[in-house]
């Protein structure tokens, strides 16, 4: 097991989301590190569940959970996503479906949804 407290973010590859998501999770969940699993439009990939990338994401998240002891997994959607260029409303639908899918993967791990707005502020989605 790694030293320090970990969380995991399934985040977009878009560099604009990395720092705000990292800082939000560290502050909100009192962790030392945030493992980043990135793809273009991860909310669409996980929400639809049809892409072979789902298993790739799952295996990378499993490393964070099993080897680093991560107990929080955040799935991220954001404004102006090139990998999933849809409305905010559709992002939130994809995000809800993503949370359901990821929640089924691990016991004892909290899965949250994050929306990053047009000002690069992070909002937790209930």
What does the pLDDT read at residue 3? 80
Structural domain contains residue 106: yes
Q: How confident is the model at residue 124 (pLDDT cuts 50, 70, 90)?
A: very high
DSSP H or E run through 111? strand 110-116
What does the pLDDT read at residue 1? 62
**Looking at residues 60-82, what average pLDDT do you find?**
98
d(CA 21, CA 115): 9
Structural domain contains residue 25: yes
Q: How confident is the model at residue 126 (pLDDT cuts 50, 70, 90)?
A: confident
Domain range for 49? 6-125
Mind listing the pLDDT tens digit for each residue in 13-64?
A: 999 999 999 999 999 999 999 999 999 999 999 999 999 999 999 999 999 9
Q: Cβ(62)–Cβ(8) under 8 Å? A: no
Structural domain contains residue 1: no
The number of folded domains in the chain is 1
pTM score, whole prediction: 0.95
Structural domain contains residue 119: yes
Percent of the chain with pLDDT over 90: 96
DSSP for 33-55, please give it: EEEEEEESSHHHHHHH--STHHH
Structural domain contains residue 110: yes
Structural domain contains residue 19: yes
Is pLDDT above 90 for 112? Answer: yes
Is pLDDT above 80 for 71? Answer: yes
Structural domain contains residue 60: yes
Which CATH number do you get for residue 38? 3.40.1050.10
What does the pLDDT read at residue 4? 87
Is pLDDT above 70 for 2? Answer: no
Structural domain contains residue 86: yes
């Amino acid at each position: 097991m790694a030293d320090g407290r970990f969380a995991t973010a399934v985040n977009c590859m878009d560099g604009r989301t990395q720092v705000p998501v990292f800082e939000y999770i560290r502050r909100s969940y009192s962790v030392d590190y945030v493992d980043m699993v990135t793809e273009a439009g991860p909310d669409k990939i996980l929400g639809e569940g049809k892409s072979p990338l789902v298993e790739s994401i799952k295996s990378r998240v499993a490393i964070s959970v099993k080897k680093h002891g991560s107990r929080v997994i955040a799935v991220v959607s954001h404004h102006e996503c090139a990998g999933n260029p849809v409305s905010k409303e559709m992002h939130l639908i994809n995000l809800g479906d993503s949370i359901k899918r990821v929640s089924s993967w691990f016991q004892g791990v909290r899965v949250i949804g994050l929306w990053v707005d047009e000002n690069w502020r992070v909002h937790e989605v209930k």
